[in-house]
Amino acid sequence: MDFTGVMNDALLAVAGARSKSEARGLMDEETFRAFYERTSRAVWIYLARVTGDRTLADDLLQETYYRFYKAGAAHQDEGHRRNSLFCIATNIARDTHRRNARHPLEPLELNEAAEETVTIDARIAERFEESTDLWRAMAQLKPIQREMLWLAYALGSSHAEIAEIVGVKSGSVKILLFRARRKLATLLGRPS
Amino acid sequence: MKRTDCPLEQETLAIVHAGRWPDSCDEASRAHIDVCVTCNDIVRVATLVANDYQTALPTAHVPNSGLIWWRMQRRQRQEAVRTASRVITIVQAIAVAAGVAVAIGILAATSRAFPFAPSDLSRTILTQWGIPLIIAFAAWLALAPVAVYLAVSKD
């Protein structure tokens, strides 16, 4: 074997040893898999709803768990661990949204029969596969509004948890949630 | 100031999360929800979102946990190899450049034909210490990448 080959093998052995030693702070396979089984569906639905894209949610789910695993952070309890996971998922979804926003498409007019036509990003409208009233309305909200509504009403997160996950002050959650809820209710229209 | 909350907000939300709306809700709460804009919005929005979540849960197809674990381990190994390879390449380039410079220096010091030969004293030192210098340099060439990797790599 040549010198370079020997050196590379030696260094990769060192890298492997370091990775193993650093891996002591990471979750073991059994713990990770149990945690994944408990949380993955909720995370996937959250990502699918916030981004409006099921295929994208598949990719983001893996990225979320990889970053969570690699962070190797110690958590006080299951709730704190879960919040960290959703915080990572939120940041990843936002990064994706920002990347997509750099290439905006022409606005699309929806609800033509209504007095006020509402324009939304065509990309988001297309992504929301479910053409239910809820998701047509959700598509017109800001990402942070979708995140907050989902966390509060689908996952039952407290205001403190929502603040931690979406990265706003705890005192601001109530008013932001109120505005998001009001806007969504308005978009859905008054019940008959 | 516009009112944005209601003292019964949490109770209303609890009714929705407990699945008591609309059929199992008591009359007092129902009467309040009918007249309170905030609670009315909460009931409407929370019911729709919670129902959507409950409908989506059984149909959510996520990859198997074993597959996710295996992919994470593979990716971690690939990243470690990539980091190590990058450091190796840089250190080897520096080592080769230094090696060529030292070899030229030794050649210049020991060769009388070389037009820029150093003084007699330097030549004597290099003649005596040439071999140990080469051995020391070879050892450095072998160990420097490891030392640099350990010093700079976080992964």
Give the start-to-end residue ranges of the domains of chain A: 26-103
Domain ranges of chain B: 9-59, 77-152
Which residue in A100, A109, A164 sits closest to A127, CA to CA? A100
Cα A157 to Cα A154: distance, rounded to the nearest angstrom = 8
Determine whether the interchain pair A7/B57 forms a contact, defined as Cβ–Cβ distance below 8 Å.
no
Which residue is it, tokens 């220096």? B105
Strands A118-121 and A107-110: antiparallel
Q: Do A134 and B83 touch (CB under 8 A)?
A: no
- Measured in angstroms, the CA of A132 and the nearest CA of chain B are apart by 10
Taking the CA atoms of B37, B12, B59 and B64 in sequence, report the sign of the dihedral they define.
positive
* Interfacial A residues in 47-106 facing B (CB < 8 Å): 48-49, 58, 61-62, 65-66, 69-70
How far are the Cα atoms of A175, B120, B122 from residue B131, in angstroms, in the given order? 78, 18, 15
Q: Which residue has the higher pLDDT, A93 or B151?
A: A93
pLDDT digits (tens, 9 = 90+) for B63-108: 999 999 999 999 999 988 888 888 778 877 887 888 788 777 777 7
Residue B140 to residues A134, B85, B94, B105, B153, Cα–Cα distance (Å)? 67, 18, 12, 17, 19
Higher model confidence: residue A157 or residue B90? A157
Question: What is the per-residue pLDDT across A11-43, written as a single tens digit (0 to 9) for each?
Answer: 555 555 455 545 556 788 999 999 999 999 999
> What contacts B118, CB < 8 A, 6 or more positions away?
B108, B109, B126
Compute the residue count for chain A. 192
**B80 in contact with chain A, both atoms CB, cutoff 8 A:** yes
Residue B85 neighbours by CB under 8 Å, 6+ apart: A8
Contact B5 A174 (CB under 8 A): yes
pLDDT in tens, B15-73: 888 888 878 888 888 889 888 888 988 998 998 898 889 888 888 889 999 999 999 99
Residue B87 is encoded by which pair of tokens?
């450091």
pLDDT score recorded for residue A110: 44
CB A99, CB A63: distance < 8 Å: no
Q: Which of B46, B71, B155 sits opposite A153 (nearest CB)?
A: B46
- Give the class (CATH, top level) of A26-103: mainly alpha
Q: What are phi and psi of B73, to 5 degrees?
A: -65, -40
pLDDT in tens, A168-191: 998 899 999 999 999 999 998 765
Over residues B119-131, the pLDDT tens digits come to: 665 666 666 777 7
Global pTM?
0.69
Contacts of B42 (CB under 8 A, 6+ apart): A181, B9, B12, B13, B16
Tell me the ipTM for this assembly: 0.71
B149: chain A residues, CB-CB within 8 Å:
11, 14-15
